[in-house]
Structure 1
Amino acid sequence: MNTATLSMPASEANVSGALLVGSMPLADSAAVFTFAAQHLGRHLRRIPDGETGSRINWTQWQVGVFKAVDALESEMFDAGYLRRPKFRIKAGKSAGDIVFPPLGYASAARESYRTFRALKRSGVIADRTRFQVCLPTPVAPVTIFVFPEFQRAIEPLYEAAMLHELDAIVAYIPPNELAIQWDTAIEFAILEGVLPHSFDHPETDLIARLIRLGNSVPLPVELGFHLCYGDSGGRHFKEPADASKLVAVTNGILNGLTRSLDWLHLPVPKERADEAYFAPLKKLAIEARTELYLGLVHAADGVAGTQARIAAARNFAPRFGVATECGCGRRIPETLPELMAIHAAVSSPID
């Protein structure tokens, strides 16, 4: 099927724009920017750099950061489909001995922005398009790489290091060209009871952290949250019963934000074209100016399956754009053009 030749039905004209969640399995940021502009340029307000190279598998590259901390030691830990190191504070050391080196997010953003700026000046990228920088919430690498009994001590130090990265990104990239997305996945693994953790009141504690991260992004830099149930090993860590936890966390964030939320991304499992999954969206308290993107584009069932999910969602979310559930980093590169064509077929351009 040539999805690029399909047009969006008039009945779905309220489906506008697309979001690229983050990672993309291409050679480098130049390839990602060029590919995105060519295939979805008129549908995109922002383009990420694809988290290429060592960053392609989300937080896995942060193992090197933890290994560089002299006060930490590790042992291999079985995480299901893979084995990874897990860290603890060395005997005789304390949290006061922990000094994180630069995490690498700021240096990657600076390098990618230089490419982004050059492609914008040459006309490949539209002038209105922002550079989207995707950052994991600090809870993610700490929960993944630190034994639970040491997470309380280490998490504030890693968060401080991440916010230092954010400050460096904001200082380098013009604010009217920058968009920051906080990737929020491990939080839902904790809320769904999948991962061990050190929180006394998980939902309250996690929302407080997300509010803090959101408010750390200064205006006029744009702010977005990508909420996720993961795709490690090609599957969710748990299939959500419906969108209720996504809505509860979002509304909790909104209750504490002192700045605007520019966009929100929520995942939609490919099996869920039923109204029950989307019904909690009726309680979503986002403002009209906040763009909602639903991750209901799945390559497995193409345009037809995507339109079925759109039809169910429209009863509870009158206006939204489309996206995949998670980043594309684990996909086969040759499948990307067809996947982008599905986005374009089911949504209208933003300009």
Structure 2
Amino acid sequence: MTSQKIVRAAAIQIAPVFDSAGGTLEKVCQAIADAAKKGAQLVVFPETFIPYYPYFSFILPPVASGSAHMKLYEYAVVVPGPVTDAVAAQARSLGIVVVLGVNERDHGSLYNTQLIFDETGCLVLKRRKITPTFHERMIWGQGDASGLKVVKTGIGRIGALACWEHYNPLARYALMAQHEEIHCSQFPGSLVGPVFAEQIEVTIRHHALESGCFVINSTGWLSDEQIQSVTPDPALQKALRGGCCTAIISPEGQHLAEPLRSGEGMVIADLDMSLITKRKRMMDSVGHYARPELLSLMINDKPAVPMFSETLPSNQYPTEPLVFTPFSSTHSSE
């Protein structure tokens, strides 16, 4: 467990730039600098924020979304590449941990990807959303469990999930079992309305209590002009409003700052890491409160690849059939 210390975190609620491939990246770099000026050691951005969340897919039928989908391909992020280089340089120069959501392009497919850069600018985690939700299945491919990792940084052990992955209790438990101390969650925002914002709040507060960790949650935001650019239909525009709850939650399930529910802005709070021990002294879901002889998690954390080749290193592409093995602490990133 991390020794007692204070970590300052920032959760960003911000609007993307729809009509510029580099516009959203510029806003990200500026927001990182702004957070650093306020003393933040960790900054979290919304789901697939670069170049933007595919809001069009929520309201347009597939037959009408081809051009918008192609534009998303054009603007999408290659990892590693110029976008990750720019963010890494900003993290390194300011000594700040950055958690960023991107639309990742891997040749002919797009993925909902979460990136974690440590305070040295090193990309310490790239993970893909394991199950795109509802309309998202027309946009992104499925990730695998190789990214369900908690990574060690200078401020603590960090894990991340996107949006409704939080409704997969086994995915959450995979991170809990690796003793995550700071959980970074990302949602698109500007969807469904107040009911979505209420669900987000319930979800992140519950995970904080169950995991005994801090939760830094970031949601996106769309201006009225941006909503109108997605659809001119007033009825459909209603589906692109609300759904924002950018917040920072303690291991005791409490807000550490006033949450942001509309507009652009930043939520900042100091995380007293001793609260993790205070919570887990009472209830440690993967320690004294666990019953692994009765209930345990099995995980296939090998990368899912379409082809194995004997010419490639054996530790990169396994040559044996994939098997499920009991989850153990050896899966943690040390």
TM-score w.r.t. length of structure 2: 0.37
Point out the structure with the larger strand share: 2
